[in-house]
Amino acid sequence: MKSPPVVAIVGATGAVGVEFLRCLEERHFPVAELSLLASARSVGKELTFRGVKHKVAELTEASFEGVDLALFSAGGSISKKFGPIAAKAGAIVVDNSSAFRMAPDVPLVVPEINPQAARQHKGIIANPNCSTIIAIVPLWPIHKVNPIRRLLAATYQAASGAGAAAMQELLDSTRASLEGREHKHTVLPHPYAFNLFSHNSSVDPQTLYNEEEIKMTRETRKIFGDDAIRISATCVRVPVLRAHCEALTIECDRPITPAQVHALLAKAPGVRIVDDTGRNYFPMPKDAAGQGDVLVGRIRQDISDPSGKSIAMFVAGDQLLKGAALNAVQIAELLLK
């Protein structure tokens, strides 16, 4: 990809689209020209990038002429239609939806784990699911040294994972609840204020796992290049605006101690240890939000496994940043090297 590239952002007015702009600006990503694309209802809106206001244009099949890099975050159906069009026009597509993640010829990339895969693209690179990224960034340094054989995950997922409308619904419903007013939920399937519920993706009638849980399983195996890892996830939506948390328990090939895990993660890229037992201070959404590291704490031996091979931990990461926009921009940075 030439530098500086002509960049297009598809879904520019959405929650992740706004974070694309922020990441490009804060990381000083070289941009020759910028095109902001969205649906017809957003045409004419203005977003500011590096002090300059840019108007949003309607996404069409002709939108990608001369574009070198297209960052997509507009949903799977839009990606399936326009991703190949953008790639055919000569752009490298970094797609944030699930449309291409499991396609065998599309690399699924987390730069801290498999940066080499980005170079194997055929015009489209997939950004993994947010829950997957936040879990596996701190697990990879362990897996490289002492292979993980089993992963049990329970997620506590923020409204940001369902987009800006869900974030607003959480705000509105919480305000209504505090004021004693009724609030009709329209974005998510259940009342959100002071409530939590199983992730709002569809449930497979055979396995009884929902789509989010299945994504974590399949994507982790693909990124790690290891189909033998046994994975079970339970994904839950919680009333937090942004930043997902996850309780992770891993079983390794050989015995492993919390001290060894601390040592591995202390030098791992994209990871910050927050593990203050004395103050009972561990990863929280309030600390994860707005920054790019995955916070890791509660690192302890799983006392239910007498073999000493299992570790439990708690992690938190900003779903809009490392779980989405930041990871995509980091992928784009790999293409400039």
Residues marked active site are found at 130, 244
Ordered DSSP codes for 304-337: T-TTS-EEEEEEEE-TTIIIIIHHHHHHHHHHH-
- CA dist., res. 260 & res. 256, Å (int): 7
- CA dist., res. 64 & res. 133, Å (int): 28
Q: For residue 276, how many C-alpha atoms fall within 13 Å in the half-sphere facing its CB? A: 8
Collapsed DSSP state (helix, strand, coil) of residue 225:
coil
Among 110, 210, 207, 208, which residue's Cα sits nearest to residue 157?
210
Collapsed DSSP state (helix, strand, coil) of residue 268:
coil
Collapsed DSSP state (helix, strand, coil) of residue 216:
helix
- CA dist., res. 308 & res. 133, Å (int): 26
Name the CA dihedral angle for 143, 107, 20, 134, rounded to a multiple of 10 degrees: -20
- CA dist., res. 142 & res. 39, Å (int): 43
Ordered DSSP codes for 110-168: -TTT-GGGGGG-SSEEEPPPHHHHHHHHHHHHHHHHS-EEEEEEEEEE-GGGG-HHHHH
Q: Decide if 71 contacts 94 (C-beta within 8 A).
A: yes
